[in-house]
Structure 1
Amino acid sequence: MPEPKPSALFVCVHNAGRSQMAAAFLTHLGDSRVEVRSAGSAPADTVNPAVVEAMAEVGIDLSAEVPKVLTTEAVQASDVVITMGCGDACPYFPGKRYLDWKLDDPAGQGIDAVRPIRDQIETRIRSLLTDLGIQPSA
Protein backbone atom coordinates (compact mmCIF):
# COMPACT_ATOMS: atom_id res chain seq x y z
CA MET A 1 0.00 0.00 0.00
CA PRO A 2 1.46 3.40 -0.93
CA GLU A 3 2.34 5.79 1.85
CA PRO A 4 -0.18 8.63 2.20
CA LYS A 5 0.94 11.97 0.81
CA PRO A 6 1.84 14.63 3.35
CA SER A 7 -0.57 17.56 3.33
CA ALA A 8 -0.08 21.26 3.95
CA LEU A 9 -2.45 24.15 4.49
CA PHE A 10 -1.35 27.76 3.96
CA VAL A 11 -3.39 30.39 5.76
CA CYS A 12 -3.34 34.18 5.58
CA VAL A 13 -6.07 36.74 6.10
CA HIS A 14 -7.28 37.30 2.53
CA ASN A 15 -5.95 34.17 0.74
CA ALA A 16 -5.08 36.57 -2.07
CA GLY A 17 -1.31 36.81 -1.78
CA ARG A 18 1.12 34.95 0.47
CA SER A 19 -0.91 31.77 0.95
CA GLN A 20 -1.73 31.60 -2.77
CA MET A 21 1.94 31.94 -3.71
CA ALA A 22 2.99 29.34 -1.13
CA ALA A 23 0.36 26.84 -2.27
CA ALA A 24 1.32 27.36 -5.91
CA PHE A 25 5.04 26.87 -5.20
CA LEU A 26 4.37 23.73 -3.14
CA THR A 27 2.14 22.33 -5.88
CA HIS A 28 4.72 23.17 -8.54
CA LEU A 29 7.87 22.08 -6.69
CA GLY A 30 6.21 19.14 -4.94
CA ASP A 31 5.08 17.74 -8.27
CA SER A 32 1.90 16.04 -6.95
CA ARG A 33 3.75 14.47 -4.00
CA VAL A 34 2.07 16.76 -1.44
CA GLU A 35 -1.60 17.52 -0.93
CA VAL A 36 -1.86 21.32 -0.92
CA ARG A 37 -4.56 23.64 0.43
CA SER A 38 -4.77 27.37 1.02
CA ALA A 39 -7.39 29.52 2.71
CA GLY A 40 -8.03 32.85 4.38
CA SER A 41 -9.71 33.90 7.59
CA ALA A 42 -11.41 36.76 5.67
CA PRO A 43 -10.96 35.88 1.97
CA ALA A 44 -10.78 38.59 -0.68
CA ASP A 45 -12.85 38.47 -3.84
CA THR A 46 -9.84 37.89 -6.11
CA VAL A 47 -6.16 37.06 -5.98
CA ASN A 48 -3.96 40.17 -5.86
CA PRO A 49 -3.10 41.11 -9.49
CA ALA A 50 0.53 41.91 -8.55
CA VAL A 51 0.81 38.41 -7.05
CA VAL A 52 -0.57 36.86 -10.25
CA GLU A 53 1.95 38.89 -12.28
CA ALA A 54 4.90 38.01 -10.00
CA MET A 55 4.10 34.30 -10.14
CA ALA A 56 3.68 34.42 -13.94
CA GLU A 57 7.27 35.73 -14.10
CA VAL A 58 8.43 32.39 -12.65
CA GLY A 59 6.14 30.31 -14.86
CA ILE A 60 3.29 29.68 -12.40
CA ASP A 61 -0.22 30.71 -13.45
CA LEU A 62 -2.49 31.90 -10.64
CA SER A 63 -4.98 33.67 -12.90
CA ALA A 64 -7.72 31.06 -12.33
CA GLU A 65 -7.26 30.82 -8.54
CA VAL A 66 -10.00 32.06 -6.21
CA PRO A 67 -9.55 32.92 -2.52
CA LYS A 68 -11.15 30.32 -0.25
CA VAL A 69 -12.52 30.56 3.27
CA LEU A 70 -10.67 28.81 6.07
CA THR A 71 -12.58 25.82 7.42
CA THR A 72 -12.05 23.61 10.43
CA GLU A 73 -12.10 20.63 8.05
CA ALA A 74 -9.16 22.00 6.04
CA VAL A 75 -7.10 22.36 9.21
CA GLN A 76 -8.03 18.90 10.48
CA ALA A 77 -7.18 17.31 7.12
CA SER A 78 -3.67 18.86 6.99
CA ASP A 79 -0.46 17.50 8.48
CA VAL A 80 1.19 20.91 8.65
CA VAL A 81 -0.52 24.30 8.89
CA ILE A 82 1.53 27.32 7.83
CA THR A 83 0.12 30.63 8.98
CA MET A 84 1.11 33.98 7.53
CA GLY A 85 -0.25 36.80 9.61
CA CYS A 86 -3.73 35.56 10.43
CA GLY A 87 -3.19 35.82 14.17
CA ASP A 88 -5.99 34.50 16.38
CA ALA A 89 -8.24 33.81 13.38
CA CYS A 90 -6.36 30.57 12.70
CA PRO A 91 -7.91 27.59 14.47
CA TYR A 92 -5.58 25.51 16.60
CA PHE A 93 -5.83 21.75 17.00
CA PRO A 94 -3.53 19.81 19.32
CA GLY A 95 -1.29 17.38 17.49
CA LYS A 96 -1.02 19.43 14.31
CA ARG A 97 2.30 20.83 13.22
CA TYR A 98 2.11 24.62 12.98
CA LEU A 99 4.59 27.00 11.39
CA ASP A 100 4.19 30.77 11.44
CA TRP A 101 5.99 32.47 8.58
CA LYS A 102 6.64 36.17 9.12
CA LEU A 103 6.37 37.68 5.66
CA ASP A 104 5.43 41.13 4.41
CA ASP A 105 1.84 41.40 3.20
CA PRO A 106 1.65 42.03 -0.57
CA ALA A 107 -1.84 43.60 -0.25
CA GLY A 108 -1.85 46.98 -1.94
CA GLN A 109 1.76 46.56 -3.08
CA GLY A 110 3.11 46.80 -6.62
CA ILE A 111 5.08 44.14 -8.45
CA ASP A 112 8.44 45.47 -7.22
CA ALA A 113 7.38 44.91 -3.59
CA VAL A 114 5.83 41.50 -4.34
CA ARG A 115 8.88 39.95 -6.03
CA PRO A 116 11.01 39.71 -2.84
CA ILE A 117 8.05 38.23 -0.93
CA ARG A 118 7.59 35.67 -3.72
CA ASP A 119 11.28 34.77 -3.58
CA GLN A 120 11.22 34.38 0.23
CA ILE A 121 8.20 32.09 -0.07
CA GLU A 122 9.92 29.93 -2.71
CA THR A 123 12.96 29.53 -0.43
CA ARG A 124 10.73 28.51 2.48
CA ILE A 125 8.78 26.05 0.31
CA ARG A 126 12.01 24.37 -0.80
CA SER A 127 13.00 24.02 2.85
CA LEU A 128 9.54 22.67 3.76
CA LEU A 129 9.81 20.05 1.03
CA THR A 130 13.17 18.96 2.41
CA ASP A 131 11.61 18.74 5.90
CA LEU A 132 8.88 16.54 4.43
CA GLY A 133 11.51 14.29 2.84
CA ILE A 134 10.64 15.36 -0.70
CA GLN A 135 13.17 16.52 -3.27
CA PRO A 136 11.92 19.69 -5.05
CA SER A 137 11.17 18.92 -8.70
CA ALA A 138 12.54 22.14 -10.16
Structure 2
Amino acid sequence: MDINGHAFDIYDIPGFGHDYDPAITIGQLYTERGIDLLVYCLKPGGGIVKGHYNAVRSAVPERVPLAAVVTGLEQHGGSMENWWSGPKKNGETLAAKGMKFVDHACVTTLSREDVSYNMELYEQRYQSTQAV
Protein backbone atom coordinates (compact mmCIF):
# COMPACT_ATOMS: atom_id res chain seq x y z
CA MET A 1 0.00 0.00 0.00
CA ASP A 2 1.29 3.47 -0.85
CA ILE A 3 0.50 6.32 1.54
CA ASN A 4 1.87 9.76 0.70
CA GLY A 5 4.69 8.25 -1.34
CA HIS A 6 5.70 5.70 1.30
CA ALA A 7 5.28 1.97 0.73
CA PHE A 8 3.72 -0.09 3.52
CA ASP A 9 3.07 -3.81 3.85
CA ILE A 10 -0.13 -4.31 5.82
CA TYR A 11 -1.25 -7.65 7.21
CA ASP A 12 -4.58 -8.34 8.85
CA ILE A 13 -4.21 -11.17 11.33
CA PRO A 14 -7.38 -12.62 12.86
CA GLY A 15 -7.47 -12.30 16.61
CA PHE A 16 -7.52 -14.80 19.40
CA GLY A 17 -10.17 -17.49 19.67
CA HIS A 18 -9.25 -19.24 16.42
CA ASP A 19 -7.47 -22.54 15.77
CA TYR A 20 -4.05 -20.93 15.84
CA ASP A 21 -2.07 -18.47 17.93
CA PRO A 22 -1.85 -15.03 16.27
CA ALA A 23 1.28 -14.27 18.31
CA ILE A 24 3.08 -17.05 16.40
CA THR A 25 1.98 -15.51 13.09
CA ILE A 26 3.19 -12.09 14.24
CA GLY A 27 6.51 -13.58 15.32
CA GLN A 28 6.92 -15.30 11.94
CA LEU A 29 6.15 -12.06 10.08
CA TYR A 30 8.70 -10.23 12.21
CA THR A 31 11.37 -12.85 11.51
CA GLU A 32 10.66 -13.17 7.78
CA ARG A 33 9.77 -9.60 6.76
CA GLY A 34 10.26 -7.30 9.73
CA ILE A 35 7.57 -5.23 11.43
CA ASP A 36 7.85 -1.47 11.86
CA LEU A 37 4.53 -0.95 13.65
CA LEU A 38 1.92 -3.21 15.22
CA VAL A 39 -1.66 -1.93 15.32
CA TYR A 40 -3.60 -3.69 18.06
CA CYS A 41 -7.40 -3.52 17.74
CA LEU A 42 -9.41 -3.44 20.95
CA LYS A 43 -13.14 -3.69 21.49
CA PRO A 44 -14.51 -2.28 24.77
CA GLY A 45 -16.12 -4.74 27.11
CA GLY A 46 -14.99 -8.34 26.96
CA GLY A 47 -12.66 -7.74 24.02
CA ILE A 48 -9.75 -6.29 26.00
CA VAL A 49 -7.69 -9.09 27.50
CA LYS A 50 -4.29 -8.47 29.12
CA GLY A 51 -3.13 -11.99 28.24
CA HIS A 52 -3.73 -11.30 24.55
CA TYR A 53 -1.78 -8.04 24.81
CA ASN A 54 1.09 -9.88 26.50
CA ALA A 55 1.15 -12.55 23.79
CA VAL A 56 1.26 -9.96 21.02
CA ARG A 57 3.84 -7.82 22.83
CA SER A 58 6.10 -10.83 23.46
CA ALA A 59 6.02 -11.83 19.76
CA VAL A 60 8.29 -8.93 18.78
CA PRO A 61 11.08 -6.93 20.45
CA GLU A 62 10.12 -3.94 22.60
CA ARG A 63 11.56 -1.59 19.98
CA VAL A 64 8.61 -2.40 17.68
CA PRO A 65 5.97 0.22 18.52
CA LEU A 66 2.46 -0.92 19.37
CA ALA A 67 -0.49 1.40 18.67
CA ALA A 68 -4.07 0.82 19.84
CA VAL A 69 -7.20 1.20 17.74
CA VAL A 70 -10.35 1.03 19.86
CA THR A 71 -13.27 -0.07 17.66
CA GLY A 72 -17.02 -0.27 18.10
CA LEU A 73 -17.42 3.13 19.75
CA GLU A 74 -20.41 4.24 17.67
CA GLN A 75 -22.74 3.87 20.66
CA HIS A 76 -20.33 5.50 23.11
CA GLY A 77 -21.95 8.91 22.71
CA GLY A 78 -20.13 12.17 22.22
CA SER A 79 -16.54 12.21 21.07
CA MET A 80 -15.15 8.71 20.69
CA GLU A 81 -11.81 10.00 21.99
CA ASN A 82 -13.52 10.43 25.37
CA TRP A 83 -13.46 6.65 25.75
CA TRP A 84 -9.65 6.86 26.01
CA SER A 85 -9.00 10.18 27.70
CA GLY A 86 -12.37 11.27 29.12
CA PRO A 87 -13.57 11.06 32.73
CA LYS A 88 -13.11 7.27 32.95
CA LYS A 89 -9.56 7.57 31.57
CA ASN A 90 -9.60 4.09 30.02
CA GLY A 91 -6.23 4.75 28.39
CA GLU A 92 -4.67 5.34 31.80
CA THR A 93 -6.40 2.24 33.16
CA LEU A 94 -4.90 0.12 30.36
CA ALA A 95 -1.44 1.61 31.02
CA ALA A 96 -1.77 0.91 34.75
CA LYS A 97 -2.45 -2.74 33.85
CA GLY A 98 0.74 -2.81 31.80
CA MET A 99 -0.92 -2.38 28.41
CA LYS A 100 1.18 0.43 26.94
CA PHE A 101 0.78 1.92 23.48
CA VAL A 102 2.76 4.57 21.58
CA ASP A 103 -0.46 6.10 20.27
CA HIS A 104 -4.13 5.33 19.83
CA ALA A 105 -7.22 6.01 17.73
CA CYS A 106 -10.82 5.64 18.90
CA VAL A 107 -13.02 4.73 15.93
CA THR A 108 -16.23 3.34 14.57
CA THR A 109 -16.01 0.74 11.83
CA LEU A 110 -19.46 1.33 10.39
CA SER A 111 -19.67 1.74 6.63
CA ARG A 112 -20.84 4.93 4.94
CA GLU A 113 -24.13 3.19 4.11
CA ASP A 114 -24.64 2.16 7.74
CA VAL A 115 -24.37 5.76 8.95
CA SER A 116 -26.11 7.62 6.13
CA TYR A 117 -29.40 7.75 8.07
CA ASN A 118 -27.89 9.14 11.27
CA MET A 119 -25.94 12.41 11.28
CA GLU A 120 -24.26 11.73 14.65
CA LEU A 121 -22.98 8.35 13.46
CA TYR A 122 -21.93 9.92 10.17
CA GLU A 123 -19.86 12.49 12.08
CA GLN A 124 -18.30 9.74 14.22
CA ARG A 125 -17.37 7.82 11.08
CA TYR A 126 -15.74 10.96 9.68
CA GLN A 127 -13.82 11.44 12.95
CA SER A 128 -12.62 7.84 12.62
CA THR A 129 -11.16 8.43 9.17
CA GLN A 130 -9.35 11.51 10.49
CA ALA A 131 -8.02 9.68 13.57
CA VAL A 132 -6.50 6.87 11.56
TM-score between the two structures when normalised by the length of structure 2: 0.38
Q: Which gives a bigger RCO, structure 1 or 2 (Cα 8 Å, sep 6+)? A: 1
Q: Which has the larger radius of gyration?
A: 2
